Amino acid sequence: MDKIQEMRSKILELNRYRRAYYNRNQSLVSNAEYDAMFEELEKMERETGIVYADSPTQHVGYYPEGKLEKIRHPVPLLSLDKTKEIQELKKFAKKNMVLLMLKLDGLTIKLTYEKGRLLEAATRGDGETGENVLRNVPFIKGIPVTIPYQKRLVLSGEAFIRQDDFKRLQEVLRDENGEAPKNGRNLASGSVQSSNPKHCQGRCVRFMPFNVLEGLEEIREEGRGKCLSILEHMGFSVCPYIYLEPERSNEETELWVQHLKTAAERKNIPIDGIVAIYDSYRYSESLGRTERFYRNGLAFKFEDESYETVLREISWTPSRSGELAPVALFDTIEIDGCAVSRATLHNLTFIKELELMSGCRIQVSKRNMIIPHVEGNLDRGNYEDTYPKLCPCCKSPTRVYVRETEKGKKIETLHCDNPGCESQILRKFVHFAEKKAMDIEGLSEAILGRFLSLGWISCFQDLYYLRQYRKKIIHMEGFGEKSYEKLIKAIEDSRNTDFAHYLTAMDIPMIGRTKSRELSKIFHNNLDAFEEAASGDYDFSKLEDFGETLNRNIHTWFADEDNRNQWRDLQIEMIFHEEDIHMAERKDNPFSSCVIVATGKLQNFTRDGIHNKILELGGIPGNSVTRKTNYLICGEKAGSKLAKAKQMGIPILSEEEFLQKISSL
């Protein structure tokens, strides 16, 4: 539980940074600190096996909040895993041809062409939902409105401002406070995502494509590099890249990386690293993806510079789980054009190891040019424990919790064990109302805090009975008839929900948005069936990518009487969508509860279609072949999954054989 609290505080802090970065074009912390926090969170998730729904490790970017039209990405635009080690870059290449290209520092955009005309321009957003920025395309250099290709073409690339252009813009542009823009990335992002095209005009925003997502099927077998060269003939200025041939040494790999870096500097192209991606589309697709990354690429990040400043205070913020998160407040320094004055300190162990105290000189970096991180202490030798003995929120005694990592290192964290701590309760309500949970628009942290302080809500059910306070709410500051009715409508609309959103709202450790969706398919949106399994001896570890820790977390959560009561009582307020499960219940169905992977080109199913059919049969669609895989359905041009299935002795069905089996059911 204490480890969970530590994770929650990190998630809250990281999400605050993400929201500011992606939706407000504000860099609250340096890249270095963000990456350090992110890496620490990833490590904790690996150690515990717990992954929360709102963890930044499970998402790309941040859900767009602007006034532009929202666009859903049928295929998620995910990020890439990162490394700072050349040997890891070489190891990634293995025996495959790899493209090394610039990792442009800007805003990712997806373009869709039909019959030679540009139909859609969308930002990446959170990877699944972006914003329509088509209106601003005329003011972005490098995006042709028409192309000499008549079939459907979908490509992704980066919108950015060259460094020399940004320096000129800094001299003339001022915001509402009279300040010049701090960095080119934020200016490019803000310009492209502006609802007023005039704000994009004259900003020198450029676009470079770096990947073909759909189309050019006639030449895709020739590789990714060939597709990019075709884009150049269509009028695009493609992101610079070079081929890295298989079995290159670390020295040769480093030489090519430096060559690209030098080329970017010479052309004033802003970058924050180098991307390695497999040239072969077929091999890339065979690798699949994680919840956050595609496995076909790797981002190589440059080392970060450190800056000296003075630590003034260590603040402690209670999280939803009760862990107190330490944050360093120091004299403001400028890193990569951003004013930086705070950085997470992770835990007590981190503070003690660096001997951090108010007044000491510290070194701060911006890891990977995103997140501020305290790298060192220049004034060691006078350390004393100064952590708060009382919770800053509820004034309850704090407790130091010691845990041991798999490698035997002891980590100390500070906690408030008071279940009635207002900060913890508030953050639980905030999670419940989030879009990925019950999706109650307008129910902000500030509003929830006011309702809690007035005693109007003490459990989630109370939210659905706020009408009794109608007169009082209307007369609250910031409210009126219209805002009240809008809020109540959002609350009432949330009653109409589904299994996945409801399960996410319960905040079971490791059950996030993705896992909730998978469980909704496996249990066919039947909450009673899931509760019976979770309260019984159902082995969730047999499911694809679930594991023993998740299995244990589900059973532990449902073993708690308060959790079970909350689970059942709240359902009274909801209207759930249900699916037909007759096929799954048939006793002669050999695919029920089986993990089934499909590979190759299928004649009778799309990729989503075969997954839906597997779910209809009561099976579990898998993305990769593992020891848990029960069947492999094999289409034309099957690749590595087929070879792996043969090696592991997994039953292989042709598409025809699969259809024959299900036709008799």
- The number of residues making up the chain comes to 665
Q: How far is CA 342 from the centre of its chain?
A: 23
CA–CA distance, 160 with 148 (Å, rounded to integer): 25
Residues facing 208 on adjacent strands: 158
- Distance, CA of 186 to CA of 370 (rounded, Å): 12
656 vs 631: CA distance, rounded Å: 14
**Tokens at 359, concatenated:** 């007044």
Q: Residue 93: enclosing H or E segment and its boundaries?
A: helix 86-93
641 noted as active-site residue: no
Q: If you write DSSP's letter for every residue of 480-511 in order, what string do you get?
A: -HHHHHHHHHHHHHTTEE-HHHHHHHHT-TT-
- Is the separation of the CB atoms in 293 and 313 below 8 Å? no
DSSP string, 182-215: S-HHHHHHHHHT-SSGGGTTTS-EEEEEEEEEE-
User: Are 107 and 192 spatial neighbours (Cβ–Cβ below 8 Å)?
Assistant: yes
Catalytic one of 3, 10, 103, 641:
103
- As given in the structure block, the two tokens for residue 536 are 């019984």
Structure tokens at 299: 């981002």
Given a contact cutoff of 8 angstroms between Cβ atoms, the answer to whether 507 and 560 are in contact is no
* CA gap 122, 108 in Å, rounded: 9
Give CA separation, 139 vs 106, 119, 143, 201, 520, in Å: 16, 16, 9, 5, 44
Question: For residues 410 and 403, is the Cβ–Cβ distance under 8 A?
Answer: yes
DSSP 601: B
- Of 275, 252, 247, 217, which is closest to residue 81 (Cα–Cα)? 275
Q: Say which amino acid occupies 237.
A: S
Residues pairing with 220 in the sheet: none
3-state secondary structure (DSSP) of residue 358: coil
Q: What do you get for the CA distance between the two ends of the chain, in Å?
A: 46
Strands 306-318 and 205-214: unpaired
Contact 175, 16 (CB under 8 A): no
For residue 153, CA distances in Å to 113, 132, 160, 180 come to: 5, 17, 22, 38
Active site positions, annotated: 103
